[in-house]
Structure 1
Amino acid sequence: MHYFLKTDRLELRAFGIDDADRLIALDGDPEVMRFITGGRPTSPETIHARTLPRLLHVYGCWDAQGYWAAHEAATGAFLGWFELRPLDEDSPAVVELGYRLSRAAWGRGYATEGARALIDKGFAELGVERVTANTMAVNTGSRRVMEKCGLSFVRHFTGDWPEAIEGSEHGEVEYELTRAVWERSR
Structure 2
Amino acid sequence: MMKYYEKYDRYGIWAAIEKSSNDFIGWFHSYPATENKFAVELGIIADDEIALGYRLYPDKWGKGYATEGSQKLVSKGFKEWGIQKVASWTLADNQRSIRVLEKVGLKFEKEFFFTENQLPNLTQSERKAVKYALKQKDYLSSN
- Shared fold by TM > 0.5? yes
Deviates more, 1:149-158 or 1:168-177: 168-177
Match of 2:97 among 126, 142, 153: 142
Residue of structure 1 equivalent to 2:40: none
Q: Is 1:121 the equivalent of 2:67?
A: no
Identity %: 39
Residue of structure 2 equivalent to 1:71: 17
1:133 Cα deviation from its structure 2 partner: 0.3
Residue of structure 2 equivalent to 1:180: 137
Q: Tell me if structure 1 keeps the 8 A contact 2:91–2:126.
A: no
Match of 1:82 among 13, 22, 28: 28
1:86 Cα deviation from its structure 2 partner: 1.5
Structure 1 residue matching 2:133: 3-state secondary structure: strand
1:57 Cα deviation from its structure 2 partner: 2.0
Residue of structure 1 equivalent to 2:64: 109
1:87 Cα deviation from its structure 2 partner: 2.5
TM-score, reference length from structure 1: 0.63
1:66 Cα deviation from its structure 2 partner: 1.4
Structure 2 residue matching 1:58: 3-state secondary structure: helix
CA RMSD after TM alignment:
2.1
Q: Is 1:156 the equivalent of 2:84?
A: no
Cα–Cα, structure 1 residues 60 and 124, in superposed 2: closer, same or farther, change >3 Å? Answer: farther
Q: Distance in 2 between matches of 1:146 and 1:81?
A: 16
CA offsets per residue over residues 125-149 of structure 1, 9 Å max, x none?
Answer: 1121000000111110110100000
Q: Tell me if structure 2 keeps the 8 A contact 1:128–1:179.
A: yes
| Unpaired segments ≥5 residues, structure 2 | 36-46
Cα–Cα, structure 1 residues 180 and 61, in superposed 2: closer, same or farther, change >3 Å? Answer: farther
Q: Tell me if structure 2 keeps the 8 A contact 1:66–1:86.
A: no
Q: Distance in 1 between matches of 2:137 and 2:11?
A: 25
Q: Distance in 2 between matches of 1:144 and 1:115?
A: 12
1:61 Cα deviation from its structure 2 partner: 6.5
CA offsets per residue over residues 75-122 of structure 1, 9 Å max, x none?
Answer: 210010001112357xx9420010100012111000000000000000
Q: Tell me if structure 1 keeps the 8 A contact 2:14–2:27.
A: yes
